[in-house]
A and B are shown apart, each in its own frame.
Chain A
């Protein structure tokens, strides 16, 4: 293939740019709840996010990457012109990245996932042909965008109601918090590990049966719970803290839990959103590796996952921490007993989607979870108008991403052919 090296360098650069954007913007939404509730400082949140975003992206980011790589465009139409897929994926990456750059500059609520999916669908439908889009798959992705906030909302509602019943609404909330918080920790450790393992870690040379996966997940859950329980056991009631607000000590216990769920959130976010940056990279690399033959079945190279994971962490370190600090200052009403429910519900939903290979919006999922806690009468005030704007924004994002992708697609086509 002509210009193969040029394509490779370009796509790696664009992919890195996109991953940087994910790290600079999206991660802050995922971690802002922990910073806002005062459980983590910005510095600690950056460290947690760097480690677990990386782990999530590298260990569990494969399935969604595959969906972006070959789930949306029907490569059967491209056997004679593989370079079209290269141009399209380059265009999609650049389109989504630039659109996100513009949107975040103006503070518009735009989802990375929706941008990239819109871009790919756009270039495929216009650049190749309407029939080149796998509409069935696109339909299920669109469905998952409706289902994921709902599911997260339901889980968050159930989690928070259980917290009310087991801890907050009892006569001895502090003692009950100490008793039940480790169980939530177990659940967080268990579900994150299980989904990751069930989906397979073949790319790092780990082959496990389903039974082994369950066993390991239970093990990880127990380890997390025991460590948490040990930390919590040393906590004493501080009468001074309870003077103005009687639940201050209870919230301290939930603060420990929220460290665990913040890790889960970062892991889940990494596992789903890394694909937005490296899915197109993987598509281009696959075409080039096979000397211009499209649609080859190939194992996703580890270096691509590393590129994405590294890019996210780079974005986080260079810019994301500032966004995190701003968000943290604004989300102060969300106490740990709610924050954990939101994070755990969102993380569970996102990691499930990652396992299924569905690219969903982490922010939308988190908003759904926050609403779920709100419905349990747990949050002082939610701005419904803003929530509506966030959910409506994907209707604008899809055509915007598509428009830019089509534009760049024709520019690339005219430059290289």
Chain B
């Protein structure tokens, strides 16, 4: 026997969105292991880390598809379906970005010049921080639903978003520094390698940008 009354309640998209983001963060965090292996000249370690990144990216993809399928049109939610799907897309692009970076590092057998290695690691760390902060903000979504996107909880999330912006600015500053450091030594390095180092720096910086855009979508949800 069917029960029509319970049929009016759709499945909440917020918990799956949070699961997806935690998968994305796990994926991005593997980049740290990857670059540590690069610095230690551990070719096997690089390959293993790249495989983990790729696997986690695939898992995130599966979660993304499952969530999209459970959000048909005609769902009435406290946030617009478009905003929600946008957050999902942005989150997914973070994982894609991590996979791209890992792919280049493995494929091009990238080596970090010793003078850059520590700066780069902290730069990467800060970019991962941005993703972690975006994840923390996404984790507040069920609390936001609970409060109906109003009051003290909104102020809390706004504070977290400000923090996310601060982290992103940090990465920008670090990126400039890193480029300057590379510029100083680039003459002594093979030109194609330098090209790819710039590309790696650039692509890594994208992580924080994307994390910030996840935050931006959540800001839009608060604004409605």
Contacts and interface: CB of A to CB of B under 8 A. Distances in A.
Interface of A: 28-29, 32, 36, 104-109, 160, 164-165, 168-171, 173, 245-247, 323, 326-327, 330-331, 333-335, 337, 363, 366-367, 370-371, 374, 376-387, 389-390
Contacts of A246: 143
Contacts of B74: 383-385
B78 A383 contact: no
B147 interface: yes
Nearest to B7: A386
A367 B9 contact: no
B6 to A, nearest CB: 3
B188 interface: no
B14 A380 contact: yes
A337 B9 contact: no
Contacts of A333: 9, 11-12
Nearest to A389: B4
Given A168-B146, A169-B151, A381 B4 contact: no
A410 B200 CA distance: 85
A245 B151 contact: no
Contacts of A370: 8-9
Contacts of B77: 380-382
B150 A169 contact: yes
A193 B137 CA distance: 46
Nearest to B147: A168
A362 B130 CA distance: 50
Contacts of A335: 146
Contacts of B148: 160, 164, 168-169, 376-378
Contacts of A28: 3, 5
A171 B147 CA distance: 12
Contact of A164 (B4, B14, B150): B150
Contact of B8 (A164, A170, A367): A367
Contacts of B66: none
B21 to A, nearest CB: 15
A377 B149 contact: yes
A382 B76 contact: yes
Interface string B194-206: 0000000000000
Contacts of A326: 1, 3, 6
Given A380-B78, A381-B11, A384-B76, A330 B151 contact: no
A327 B5 contact: yes
Contacts of B75: 381-384
A366 B149 CA distance: 23
B78 A378 contact: yes
Given A380-B77, A381-B77, A331 B9 contact: yes
Given A378-B78, A383-B8, A383-B75, A106 B151 contact: no
B1 A170 contact: no
A368 B78 CA distance: 16
A390 B150 contact: no
Contacts of A380: 10, 12-14, 77-78, 145
A81 to B, nearest CB: 40
Contacts of B151: 164-165, 168-170
B192 interface: no
A106 B147 CA distance: 38
Given A107-B1, A170-B152, A331 B147 contact: no
Contacts of A164: 147-148, 150-151
A374 B79 CA distance: 11
B36 interface: no
Contacts of A334: 9
Contacts of B3: 28, 107, 323, 326-327, 330
B80 to A, nearest CB: 11
Nearest to A382: B76
6 contacts: A168-B150, A330-B3, A331-B9, A378-B145, A379-B9, A381-B10
Contacts of B2: 104, 106-108
Contacts of A381: 9-13, 75-77
Top 9 closest pairs, chain A to chain B, by CB: A107-B2, A169-B151, A381-B10, A380-B12, A330-B6, A377-B78, A109-B4, A382-B76, A386-B7
Contacts of B14: 380
A331 B147 CA distance: 19
Q: Which of A106, A164, A247, A383 has the most CB of B within 10 A?
A: A383
Contacts of A36: 6
B142 interface: yes
B138 to A, nearest CB: 14
Contacts of A106: 2
B8 A386 contact: yes
A244 to B, nearest CB: 9
